[in-house]
Amino acid sequence: MNNSEIKYYQSLLDKKHRKEEKKFLAEGKRLVLEGIESNSECEIIIFSKEFADSHQDIYDFLNKKELRIEILKQDQYRKLTETKTSQGIIAAFKYDTLNNLEKLDQNLIIALENISDPGNLGTIIRNCDWFGIKEIMLGENCAELYNPKVIRSTMGSVFHIKFFNSRNLISDLIHLKGKGYKIVCTDMDGENIYNFRKHVKSIILFSSEATGPSKELLDITDSKITIPKFGQAESLNVASASAVTLAELLKTK
């Protein structure tokens, strides 16, 4: 692997280049193996020499899949990572997002508005994967899906869900309403979730806990739901709220 290639993959640490190349880096043994097992399109796997020397089993497993594998010296490998304690394995995968709103076809879709914190976004994706959600819409002001912090926070769940990056979330939601979906917004002033009966075709919306759902979103909402408060906390973290909401809506009633 020459210096030019190292610089190329190093450029994928930058959002601009990720978007141009439609590729991203996944770092860590669990993430890389999840990506490979999910049949996501992997371009290259890069080991540090130390990792390769101590993980012959992983090298052999990946080599049998006829994937391109490169081994770098530690000083070269460090150029490809932003973490201080990298495990020593990185892979470059190609983007796998839906490019057409019409491809959303699940009865339950999650939509996210203004989830700008990468850790929250990644955890919500992980929660959705746990509860079997297959499709997520990302509003235009959400954190970038392929941000390394988002990818790490998903713990591999990014490879199990289809994503649609909306350029105009409100317009896209109105379009889906026309296809029979009901818009259900999580909001402090909503109906108690434990009394709520979900619709056959629903889009559940989560917004930033700092600002709450936008007025434009509330104007097109069919139902508002909330998790009742029993203590003194001002608000519930949006990632935590997503887990509680999905657990309640998906349980058998």
Read off the pLDDT band of 85 (50, 70, 90): confident
253 pLDDT above the threshold of 90: no
Q: What is the CATH number of the domain that holds 179?
A: 3.40.1280.10
Out of 68, 95, 122, a domain closes at 95
What pLDDT digit, counting tens, does each position of 10-33 carry?
999 999 999 999 999 999 999 999
Residue 252: predicted pLDDT: 61
Verdict on whether the full-model pTM lies above 0.85: yes
Question: Does one domain contain both 19 and 48?
Answer: yes
**Same structural domain, 19 and 83:** yes
pLDDT digits (tens, 9 = 90+) for 43-57: 999 999 999 999 999
Q: In the predicted model, what is the mean pLDDT of residues 129-154?
A: 97
Same domain membership, residue 107 and residue 63: no
The domain tally of the chain equals: 2
| Burial (0-12, 13-18, 19+ Cβ within 10 Å), 228 | exposed
Contacts of 226 (CB under 8 A, 6+ apart): 186, 187, 188, 189, 190, 191, 192, 193
Q: Look at residues 73, 95, 117 and tell me which one is the last residue of a structural domain.
A: 95
Same domain, 49 and 159: no
- Residue 224: pLDDT above 90? yes
Range scoring the smallest mean pLDDT among 103-112, 116-125, 244-253: 244-253
Specify whether 130 is located in the same domain as 183.
Answer: yes
Cα 222 to chain center, whole Å?
Answer: 26
Token pair of 63, please? Answer: 């080599």
| Boundaries of domain holding 12 | 3-95
Share of the chain above pLDDT 90, in %: 92
Which DSSP helix (H) or strand (E) runs through 77?
A: helix 74-77
Mean pLDDT within 5-14: 98
